[in-house]
Amino acid sequence: MSSFFDLSDEERMIQQTAREFADSEIAPVAGQNDAEGRFPKDIIAKLSELGFMGMLIPEKYGGSALGNLCLVLALEEINRVCASTGVTMSVHNSLATSPIIKFGSDYVKETYLPRLATGELLGAYALSEAEAGSDAASLKCRAVKDGDNFVVNGTKSWVTTGANADLYVVMLRTDPEQRASGISSFVVERDTPGLSVGKKEDKLGLRASSTTELVFEDCRIPAKNMLGEEGQGFKIAMATLDGGRIGIGTQAVGIAQACLDASVSYAKEREQFGKKIGEFQAIQWKIADMATGINAARLMVYRAARLRDEDVPHTKEAAMAKLFASEMANRAAREAVQIHGGAGYLKDFPVERYYRDARITEIYEGTSEVQRIVISRAYLGG
């Protein structure tokens, strides 16, 4: 799938390992997990054993420090068979471990990274609130300093892996007089008194991944669990989302590749009017457009990942990759269902699941509209 891109032997090995694991361990249960809304805890444990949950974590903390491109290579293969498992792995690496690596104190790194690397702790990320989605700077969940702690009250919304995570990177308002500069970032353990998991959302897709509220009621978080300095939370959130957007762009590529694979297979088998439907130009053009879009999106995602590994500015490239890949994935999913005809509308065929899973990629980690704002500002300023 990636012969056109210059990958090292190590990168190809990681890609192949992820591909084989996805096909042998995840694919057989992906449909059932989706149907039952069952979180793939056993699969996540196996991914941890393979080292896929610590791919960005430095070796001194037990990780493999393989970097973002290697993470993308593995994530594409996982998402190709199960986007629910893929987003769990993506959030853990890109949104939970990444800000701890970059902004955590020695104490925070030493306390949490080794356990995140082995999968003993599963990480999640809590930024959005009911009234603070795209406008993240307007969040209201409040943290008030009290000695060596911050006392937190409020609710976070749409937390991916919320019901299953052991640790959350949370953005909280520490200064009510400021907007973006009044937000700080904290690492919060699941069993902290005063923290509870609230409503579990009933979603269209990604049904084997939990999405929940987090409810804080006089929850005391140690001040030493802050990431960076007080007031740097919004900056940390935006820097973290660059990686998250690369992760979701990768998810979109994986879903789209699954749509293409299924469509090619079906077009070679299904007969109408006395010949395989793949012999009709209408189907051939759909396949051609899907394949072209996937290859373009994959290159954009790889480039953004490599820029992130080189620690150079990549906000624009991450937004472009996420925007193009997510919209491409939705087109691919729509065409895959169309190629399958009535069968594509049935749960008997996986393209129905791909169609549902693809939809969220244009929404979370910043909507397509937000990505266009980010990209245009890179050129126009503002």
Residues that are catalytic: 365
What are the angstrom distances between the C-alpha of 266 and each of 36, 269, 288, 334, 342? 26, 5, 15, 15, 13
Contact between 361 and 371 under an 8 Å Cβ cutoff? The reply is no
Measured CA to CA, the distance from residue 315 to residue 234 in angstroms comes to 15
196: left (phi over 0), alpha (psi -120 to 50) or beta: beta
Radius of gyration of the chain (CA): 21
The secondary structure of 340-365 as a DSSP string is HGGGGGSTTSTHHHHHHHHHGGGTTT
In the structure, how many helices (H) and strands (E) does the chain have? 12, 10
Contact between 318 and 242 under an 8 Å Cβ cutoff? The reply is yes
Measured CA to CA, the distance from residue 137 to residue 223 in angstroms comes to 21
Measured CA to CA, the distance from residue 302 to residue 314 in angstroms comes to 12
Matching residue, tokens 């820029």: 307
What residues are paired with 214 via a beta bridge?
Answer: 156, 197
